[in-house]
Amino acid sequence: MYNEPMLKENALKDKVIVVTGGGSGLGKAMTNYFLELGADVVITSRNIDKLSSVKEELEQKTGGKVLPVQCDVRNYEEVENMLKATLQEFGKVDGLLNNAAGNFISPTERLSSNAFDTIIDIVLKGTKNCTLAFGKHWIDSKQQKATVLNIVTTYAWTGSAYVVPSATAKAGVLAMTRSLAVEWAKYGIRFNAIAPGPFPTKGAWDRLLPGDLKDKFDMKKKIPLRRVGEHQELANLAAYLMSDYSSYINGEVVTIDGGEWLQGAGEFNMLEAIPKEMWDMLEAMIRAKKS
- Name the site residues for ligand NAP (rule: CB under 6 A): 20-21, 23-27, 45-47, 50, 72-74, 99-102, 122, 126, 151, 153, 196, 198-199, 201, 203-204
* Residue 20 binding partner per list ligand NAP, ligand HXC, none, with a CB distance cut-off of 5 to 8 Å that depends on partner kind: ligand NAP
Q: Is position 155 annotated as part of the catalytic site?
A: yes
Quick one: which of 183, 167, 181, 196 has its CA closest to 248?
181
198, 223, 238, 253: which one binds ligand HXC (CB under 6 A): 198
CB of 278 vs ligand NAP, minimal distance in Å = 34
Task: Give, as ranges, the residues between 117 and 146 that touch ligand HXC (CB under 6 A).
Answer: 118
- Residues 218 and 197: beta-carbon distance below 8 Å: no
Give 62-109 as a 3 state SS string.
HCCCEEEEECCCCCHHHHHHHHHHHHHHHCCCCEEEECCCCCCCCCHH
Nearer to ligand NAP, 151 or 235 (CB): 151
Region binding ligand HXC by CB under 6 A among candidate stretches 55-63, 124-132, 199-207, 262-270: 199-207
Distance CA 185, CA 155 (A): 26
Residue of 2, 33, 76, 155 marked active site: 155
DSSP summary character for residue 243: S
Give rounded-to-5 percent helix, strand, coil for the chain: 50, 15, 35
* Chain residues in the site for ligand HXC (CB under 6 A): 101-104, 106, 110-112, 114-115, 118, 153, 166, 198, 203-204, 207-208
